[in-house]
């Protein structure tokens, strides 16, 4: 089998790090942790369980964290996974088979999200397709937040599920929403994007309509309602922070 490296970004992931390492060890022994300054047991546990830990100072740029590893390994393929994600047995076998074939392709998976102890099927947390497996020399990531891979190779979707065990408390969601919306606002302000007060609210309201009605969030009952309200708040917040930056920099 062609050599594959699994890359995991971390910051204070002690509750997840052992489980994710053991999950991806079924694919490869080359597991690389890109840590941005954990002050809990993340690094120690990762070392103890055989992962290689590299440090990159956090600079509000998720793509830079992902790109950092590309010249730190000689693996033919690179697989990105988050600390709170797990590959199903079927997906593990699909990844192995794809790498064995050694074709010039990028590979996507279906991801299913569990948040607040609920497995979502609709709305903003509906199952989605994510591209995570690449020939190492054929990919670069862009955008500081909500980053995406840039790869010119044809895409193939593998069978199996990537489970994402995301928010387990409202405080965790609020903390991440605050971080992500600040990065988004600062990045878009630097690129010249501007917004007015009414437009910020319009974006937020449309975010709710899209999540609850267009993406059928209402079919998930109360969980669909509050996730859609979360999306309203998140969308409004990122545009309002952009508006605030405009006012401060007049």
Sign of the four-CA dihedral 229, 232, 238, 242: negative
Q: Is residue 125 a contact partner of residue 107, using CB atoms and an 8 Å limit?
A: no
Same domain, 30 and 114: yes
* Residue range 99-110, pLDDT digits in tens: 999 999 999 999
Last residue of a domain, one of 108, 135, 165: 165
Average pLDDT over residues 239-247: 97
Same-domain pairing of 243 and 221: yes
Q: Are residues 126 and 46 in the same domain?
A: yes
For the stretch 150-193, pLDDT in tens is 999 999 999 999 999 999 999 999 999 999 999 999 999 999 99
Q: Which two tokens stand for residue 193?
A: 């994007």
- At which of 165, 196, 214 does a domain end? 165
Residue pair 90/159 in contact (Cβ under 8 Å)? The answer is yes
Task: Please state, in angstroms and rounded to a whole number, the distance separating the CA atoms of residues 119 and 164.
Answer: 10
102 and 142 in a single domain? The answer is yes
Closest C-alpha to 231, from 126, 110, 109: 126
Mean pLDDT of 21-43: 97
- For the cut 80, the answer to whether the pLDDT of residue 1 exceeds it is no
Stated pTM of the model:
0.94
Same domain, 66 and 153: yes
Quote the number of domains for the chain.
Answer: 2
State the residue range of the domain holding 228. 170-248
Tens digit of pLDDT for each residue in 133-156?
999 999 999 999 999 999 999 999
Decide if pLDDT at 87 tops 60.
Answer: yes
240 with 140, same domain? no
Q: Is 197 exposed, middle or buried (0-12, 13-18, 19+ CB in 10 A)?
A: exposed
Asked whether residue 132 falls in the same domain as residue 210, the answer is no
Say what the pLDDT of residue 13 is. 98
Q: Are residues 97 and 191 in the same domain?
A: no
Question: pLDDT > 90: what percent of the chain?
Answer: 98
Q: Report the CATH number that the domain containing residue 111 is assigned in CATH.
A: 3.90.550.10
């Amino acid at each position: 089998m062609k050599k594959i490296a699994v890359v995991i970004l971390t910051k204070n992931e002690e509750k997840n790090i052992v489980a994710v390492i053991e999950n991806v060890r079924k694919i490869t022994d080359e597991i690389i942790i890109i840590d941005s300054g954990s002050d809990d047991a993340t690094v120690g546990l990762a070392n103890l369980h055989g992962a290689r830990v590299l440090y990159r100072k956090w600079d509000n740029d998720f793509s830079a964290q992902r790109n950092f590893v590309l010249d730190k390994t000689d693996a033919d393929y690179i697989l990105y996974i988050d600390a709170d994600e797990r590959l199903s047995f079927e997906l593990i076998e699909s990844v192995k088979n794809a790498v064995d074939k050694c074709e010039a392709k990028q590979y996507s998976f279906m991801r299913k999200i569990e948040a607040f102890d609920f497995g979502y099927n609709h709305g903003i947390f509906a199952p989605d397709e994510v591209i995570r497996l690449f020939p190492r020399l054929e990919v670069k990531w862009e955008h500081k937040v909500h980053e995406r891979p840039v790869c010119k190779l044809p895409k193939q979707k593998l069978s199996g599920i990537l489970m994402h065990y995301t928010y387990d408390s409202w405080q965790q969601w609020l903390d991440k929403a605050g971080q992500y919306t600040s990065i988004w606002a600062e990045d878009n302000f630097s690129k010249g994007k501007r917004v007015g007060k009414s437009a910020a609210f319009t974006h937020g309201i449309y975010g709710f309509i899209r999540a609850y009605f267009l993406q059928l969030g209402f079919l998930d009952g109360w969980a669909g309602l509050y996730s859609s309200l979360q999306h309203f708040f998140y969308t409004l917040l990122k545009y309002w922070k952009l508006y605030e930056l405009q006012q401060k920099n007049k």
